[in-house]
C-alpha cells in the first residue's frame, strides 16, 4: 500500500511586530512549528526589515511628523499618514521576500500594513488578520477622528475587498468588517489569538487563607488603568492584600512593602508564569483596549479577572462569569469589584475555574492555529489558486 502524505502548505507571514502583535506572531511561529507540520510558516518581522530600508525610513520620518497637540487629538491625519508609510515599506518587504520564496498563501497582520499590498493579493491567495477596525475607532476616539480616520476606513475597505479571507480577533471586529465595510460573512472568520495552555497547566489555586495577591500587567501604565488601580490599592486595600505590577513604565510609587514592580518581564517567560501562579486576582482596569491578550493568559492561569467595559474587553471578561467589568476610570466601582473577590475565596475559585474552561474552549493556541490551517488549506488548493492566477 502506498503511503500518502499531506502536501506542505507554504505560508509567508508578515507581522506589524509591535506591542501585542509581537506576542501573537511568536505564538503562531511556535505553534505551527511544533504542532502543525503540514504548514511551513515563514515569518517576516516588519521591524527587522525597517532597519534595512532607508527610503522607507525616510518616508516614514516625513509622514509621521506631528503638529503640536496631535499626539492627543488626531487633527492632522497623523494616524492615516503613519499607517500609509508603514504599509509602503511593508509592501517593499513583501516584494523582496517574494523574489526568493514562493508561498501558497500570504498572511498579513494587521490590515494597517496591508493597504498597499492589494496588488499582490491578485497573485497570491491572501489572508489579512486584525484586532480592530478604523470604522470602530471613528466612534470611539475623540473628535475630529470621525473625520481624519475616514481615509483609513476607505483604504481598509479596499484592502478587505481584495483579500481572499479575513481573520478577526473578536466578534465585535467581525461584525464591523461585515457591517461597516460590506464584506461577505463567508469571507470573515473570528479566531482568537491563542495561548500556549501547556505553560499554565501546572498552576493551581493558592491557599485561600493566605493574603490575597493582585496582579497587573501592562507597559502602557496610564492607558491600561494602572494609576486607577494603584490609587485604589493605596487608599483602600494595602492592608488586606498585596500587589504585583508588571510594567516597564515609570511609576510614581511611594515606598510600601506590599507592592512590587517587576520590569523587563517578557510574555510567556518563566518569570511571568511564576507571577500568574503567585496571584489570586488579575486586574487591568484599562481605558482603551482593542483586545487584551493578558486577560486570556490570566484565564489560562485560572485567575478571576477584573477589566472594564471598553471595546472588546467584555468579550473576554464576562461580567459575573469569569470576573467583573467596571466603567473605565470609575475607581469606586473598581474598589467594589476588587473587594468582592478579595473577601470571597469561593467566588475567586469559581470564577477562576470558569475562566480556565473558557480558555480551553476559545484560546487554545493549537486548536486556533488548526482553524487558521483550514483557511490556508482551502485557499491553497489547486482549484482556488486558479482563480488568483486569472
Task: Say which CATH architecture domain 197-362 belongs to.
Answer: 3-Layer(aba) Sandwich (3.40)
The predicted pLDDT at position 278 comes to 96
CB atoms within 10 A of CB 122: 12
Mean pLDDT, to the nearest integer, of 295-322?
97
Q: Rounded distance, CA 382 to CA 358, Å?
A: 37
Question: Which of the four pLDDT bands, split at 50, 70 and 90, describes residue 6?
Answer: low
273 CB-near residues (< 8 Å, 6+ apart): 199, 200, 203, 301
How confident is the model at residue 102, as a pLDDT? 94
Q: Please compute the mean of the pLDDT values over residues 43-64 and round it to a whole number.
A: 85
pLDDT at position 32, please? 97
Q: Is 329 helix (H, G, I), strand (E, B) or coil?
A: coil
pLDDT of residue 210: 87
Mean pLDDT of the chain, nearest integer = 92
pLDDT score for 384: 60
Q: Label the pairing between strands 281-283 and 259-262.
A: unpaired
Give pLDDT, residue 50.
83
- Residue 64 to residue 348: CA distance in whole angstroms: 46
Whether the per-residue pLDDT at 343 is higher than 70: the answer is: yes
Cell numbers for 306, please give them. Answer: 477584573
Alpha-carbon distance of 23 to 42, in angstroms, equals 16
Distance CA 368, CA 58 (A): 38
Helix (H) or strand (E) holding 304, with range, is: none
What are the residue ranges spanned by the domains of the chain? 9-194+364-388, 197-362
Output the pLDDT for position 152. 94
What is the average per-residue pLDDT within 336-358?
97
Cα separations (Å) of 30 from 27, 40, 196, 272, 300?
5, 12, 9, 18, 18
Higher-scoring residue by pLDDT: 10, 205? 10
Name the percent of the chain lying above pLDDT 70.
96
User: Is a pLDDT exceeding 50 seen at residue 208?
Assistant: yes
10 Å CB burial of residue 385 (0-12, 13-18, 19+) is middle
CA 16 to chain centre: 12
389, pLDDT greater than 80: no
Which among 39, 1, 12 has a CA at the least distance from the CA of 117? 12
Q: Pick from 21-25, 46-50, 282-286 the range whose average pLDDT is largest.
A: 282-286
Q: How confident is the model at residue 390 (pLDDT cuts 50, 70, 90)?
A: very low
On whether the 9-194+364-388 domain is CATH 3.30.479.30, my answer is no
Contact 251, 315 (CB under 8 A): no
Would you call 358 helix, strand, or coil by DSSP?
Answer: helix
Report the DSSP beta bridge partners of residue 305: 282, 323
3-state helix, strand, coil in the chain (%, to 5): 50, 15, 35
pLDDT digits (tens, 9 = 90+) for 223-270: 999 999 999 999 989 999 999 999 999 888 877 779 999 999 999 999
Confidence of residue 382 (pLDDT cuts 50, 70, 90): low
Identify the band that residue 66 occupies on the pLDDT scale cut at 50, 70 and 90. confident
Model pLDDT for residues 94-138, shown as the tens digit of each residue: 999 999 999 999 999 999 999 999 899 999 999 999 999 999 999
Mean pLDDT, residues 306-312 taken together: 97
Percent of the chain with pLDDT over 90: 76
Q: Do domains 9-194+364-388 and 197-362 have the same CATH topology?
A: yes
Considering only 37-46, 345-354, 375-384, which range has the smallest mean pLDDT? Answer: 375-384
Q: What are the pLDDT digits (tens) for 138-187?
A: 999 888 989 999 999 999 999 999 999 999 999 999 999 999 999 999 99
pLDDT band at 58 (very low <50, low <70, confident <90, very high): confident
Closest by CA position to 156, among listed 208, 117, 186: 117
pLDDT band at 53 (very low <50, low <70, confident <90, very high): confident
CB atoms within 10 A of CB 119: 10
Mean predicted confidence (pLDDT) in 20-41: 95
* C-alpha cell of residue 278: 503567585
Query: What is the DSSP pairing of strand 242-246 with strand 259-262?
Result: parallel
Amino acid at each position: 500500500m502506498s503511503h500518502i502524505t499531506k502536501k506542505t502548505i507554504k505560508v509567508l507571514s508578515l507581522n506589524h511586530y509591535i506591542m501585542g502583535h509581537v506576542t501573537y506572531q511568536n505564538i503562531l511561529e511556535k505553534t505551527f512549528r511544533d504542532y502543525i507540520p503540514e504548514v511551513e510558516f515563514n515569518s517576516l518581522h516588519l521591524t527587522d526589515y525597517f532597519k534595512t530600508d532607508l527610503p522607507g525610513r525616510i518616508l516614514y520620518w516625513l509622514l509621521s511628523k506631528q503638529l503640536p497637540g496631535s499626539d492627543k487629538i488626531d487633527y492632522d491625519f497623523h494616524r492615516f499618514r503613519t499607517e500609509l508609510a508603514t504599509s509602503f515599506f511593508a509592501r517593499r518587504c513583501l516584494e523582496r521576500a517574494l523574489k526568493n520564496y514562493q508561498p501558497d498563501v500570504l498572511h498579513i497582520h494587521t490590515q494597517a500594513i496591508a493597504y498597499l499590498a492589494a496588488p499582490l493579493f491578485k497573485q497570491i491567495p491572501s489572508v489579512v488578520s486584525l484586532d480592530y477596525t478604523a470604522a470602530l475607532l471613528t466612534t470611539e476616539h475623540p473628535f475630529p477622528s470621525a473625520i481624519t480616520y475616514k481615509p483609513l476606513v476607505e483604504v481598509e475597505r479596499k484592502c478587505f475587498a481584495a483579500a481572499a479571507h479575513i481573520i478577526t480577533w473578536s466578534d465585535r471586529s467581525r461584525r464591523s468588517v461585515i457591517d461597516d465595510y460590506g464584506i461577505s460573512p463567508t469571507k470573515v472568520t473570528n479566531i482568537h489569538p491563542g495561548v500556549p495552555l501547556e505553560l499554565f497547566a501546572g498552576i493551581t489555586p493558592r491557599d485561600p487563607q493566605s493574603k490575597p495577591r493582585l496582579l497587573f500587567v501592562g507597559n502602557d501604565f496610564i492607558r491600561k488603568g494602572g494609576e486607577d488601580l494603584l490609587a485604589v490599592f493605596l487608599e483602600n486595600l494595602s492592608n488586606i492584600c498585596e500587589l504585583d505590577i508588571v510594567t516597564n513604565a515609570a511609576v510614581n510609587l511611594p515606598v510600601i512593602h506590599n507592592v512590587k514592580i517587576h520590569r523587563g518581564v517578557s510574555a510567556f517567560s518563566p518569570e511571568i508564569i511564576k507571577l500568574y501562579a503567585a496571584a489570586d486576582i488579575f486586574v487591568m482596569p484599562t481605558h482603551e483596549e482593542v483586545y487584551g491578550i493578558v486577560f486570556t493568559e490570566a484565564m489560562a492561569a485560572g485567575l478571576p479577572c477584573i477589566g472594564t467595559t471598553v471595546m472588546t474587553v467584555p468579550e473576554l471578561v464576562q461580567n459575573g462569569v469569569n470576573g467583573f467589568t467596571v466603567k473605565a476610570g470609575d475607581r469606586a466601582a473598581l474598589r467594589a469589584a476588587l473587594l468582592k473577590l478579595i473577601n470571597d475565596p469561593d467566588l475567586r475559585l469559581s470564577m477562576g475555574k470558569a475562566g480556565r474552561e473558557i480558555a480551553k474552549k476559545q484560546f487554545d493556541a493549537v486548536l486556533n492555529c488548526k482553524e487558521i490551517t483550514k483557511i490556508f488549506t482551502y485557499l491553497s488548493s489547486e482549484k482556488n489558486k486558479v482563480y488568483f492566477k486569472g
